[in-house]
Structure 1
Amino acid sequence: MTKDGEEITMAVEGTCDAKFAELREEFERNFAERGEVGASVCLSVGGETMVDLWGGQADPTHDQAWEEDTVSIVFSCSKAATALCAHILIDRGELKLAAPVSDYWPEFAQKGKEGTTVQMMLNHESAVPAFRDPIKPGGYLDWDYMVKRIEEEEAHWVPGTSSGYHMVSFGWTVGELVRRVSGKSLGSFFRDELAGPLGADFWLGVPVDFAHPVAPIIPFQPSPDMEMTAFTQKLLTDPQSIQALSFLNSGGWDMNDPKGHKAEIGGAGGISNARGQVAMYTPLANGGEHKGVRIVSEERIAHMERCSVATSVNMTLLCGTRFASGFMKSMDNRAYPGGKQMTALIGERAFGHVGAGGSIGLADPECNLAFSYTMNRMGQGLLLNDRGQSLIDAAYRALGYRSNESGAWVR
Structure 2
Amino acid sequence: MTPSVPLIEGHCDARFAGVREAFEANFAERGELGAAVAVRVGGQSVVDLWGGWADSKRTVAWERDTLVNVWSTTKGPTALCAHVLIDRGLLDLDAPVATYWPEFAAAGKSSLPVRYLLSHRAGLAGLREPHSVAELYDWELTTRRLAAMEPWWQPGSQSGYHALTYGFLVGEVIRRITGLLPGAFLRQEITGPLGLDFTIGLPEKEADRVAELVHAPAAANGERAASFSQLPPAALAALGNPPVAAAEANSPAWRAAQIPAAGGHGTARAVAALYDIVARRGLAGDRRVLSAEAAERVREGQGACRDLVLGAAFGHDTEVGLGLWLSGPQGAYGPNPRAVGHDGFGGSFGLADPEAEVGMGYVMNRMGPHLANDPRKMALIDAVYAAL
TM, length-normalised to structure 2:
0.93
Query: 1:252-302 CA deviation, whole Å, 9 max, x = no partner?
Result: 671111111111100111101210111212332222122332110011112
Find the partner of 2:18 among 16, 22, 26.
22
Question: For residues 195 and 75 of structure 2, what CA distance do their matches in structure 1 show?
Answer: 19
Contact 2:56 2:212 in 1 (8 A): no
- Residue identity opposite 1:328 in structure 2: W
Structure 1 SS opposite 2:49:
strand
Find the partner of 1:247 among 228, 239, 243.
239
Give the 3 Å change call, closer, same or farther, for CA 363–224 of structure 1 in structure 2: closer
- Residue identity opposite 2:104 in structure 1: F
- Residue in 1 that maps onto 2:323: 326
1:314 maps onto 2:307 in alignment: yes
- Residue in 1 that maps onto 2:63: 67
Give the 3 Å change call, closer, same or farther, for CA 379–136 of structure 1 in structure 2: closer
Q: Note the residue ranges of structure 2 that are not aligned, 5 or more in a row.
A: none
- Residue identity opposite 1:250 in structure 2: P
Question: For residues 330 and 387 of structure 2, what CA distance do their matches in structure 1 show?
Answer: 24
What are the residue-to-residue correspondences of 1:76-155 with 2, within 5 Å? Answer: 76-136=72-132, 138-155=134-151
Question: Superposition RMSD on alpha carbons, in Å?
Answer: 2.3
Question: For residues 96 and 302 of structure 2, what CA distance do their matches in structure 1 show?
Answer: 17
Question: For residues 90 and 83 of structure 2, what CA distance do their matches in structure 1 show?
Answer: 10
Query: 1:81-112 CA deviation, whole Å, 9 max, x = no partner?
Result: 11110000000000001111111111111113
What are the residue-to-residue correspondences of 1:330-341 with 2, within 5 Å? Answer: 330-331=327-328
- Residue in 2 that maps onto 1:372: 361
Contact 2:301 2:322 in 1 (8 A): yes
Q: Note the residue ranges of structure 1 that are not aligned, 5 or more in a row.
A: 335-342, 400-411
- Residue identity opposite 1:389 in structure 2: M
Give the 3 Å change call, closer, same or farther, for CA 36–10 of structure 1 in structure 2: same
Contact 1:134 1:251 in 2 (8 A): no
Q: For residue 224 of structure 1, report the CA deviation from its aligned partner.
A: 7.3
Contact 2:299 2:323 in 1 (8 A): no
- Residue identity opposite 1:188 in structure 2: A
1:235 maps onto 2:232 in alignment: no
Q: For residue 331 of structure 1, report the CA deviation from its aligned partner.
A: 4.8
Q: For residue 349 of structure 1, report the CA deviation from its aligned partner.
A: 2.8
Question: For residues 234 and 115 of structure 1, what CA distance do their matches in structure 2 show?
Answer: 35
Question: For residues 211 and 220 of structure 1, what CA distance do their matches in structure 2 show?
Answer: 23
Query: 1:154-207 CA deviation, whole Å, 9 max, x = no partner?
Result: 210121112110011000010101111112111100001111111111101112
Contact 1:332 1:345 in 2 (8 A): no
- Residue in 1 that maps onto 2:341: 352
Question: For residues 305 and 237 of structure 1, what CA distance do their matches in structure 2 show?
Answer: 31
- Residue in 2 that maps onto 1:165: 161
- Residue in 1 that maps onto 2:251: 257
1:57 maps onto 2:49 in alignment: no
Question: For residues 41 and 12 of structure 2, what CA distance do their matches in structure 1 show?
Answer: 12
Structure 1 residue ranges (4+ consecutive) displaced by more than 4 angstroms after TM superposition? 331-334, 343-346
Structure 1 window deviating more from structure 2 (56-65 vs 19-28): it is: 56-65
Work out the number of aligned pairs and report it.
Answer: 382
- Residue identity opposite 2:295 in structure 1: I
- Residue in 1 that maps onto 2:377: 388
- Residue in 2 that maps onto 1:156: 152
TM, length-normalised to structure 1:
0.88
- Residue in 2 that maps onto 1:362: 351
Contact 2:125 2:160 in 1 (8 A): yes
Give the 3 Å change call, closer, same or farther, for CA 225–195 of structure 1 in structure 2: closer
Structure 2 SS opposite 1:322:
coil
Would you tell me which structure has more helix in proportion to its own residues?
2
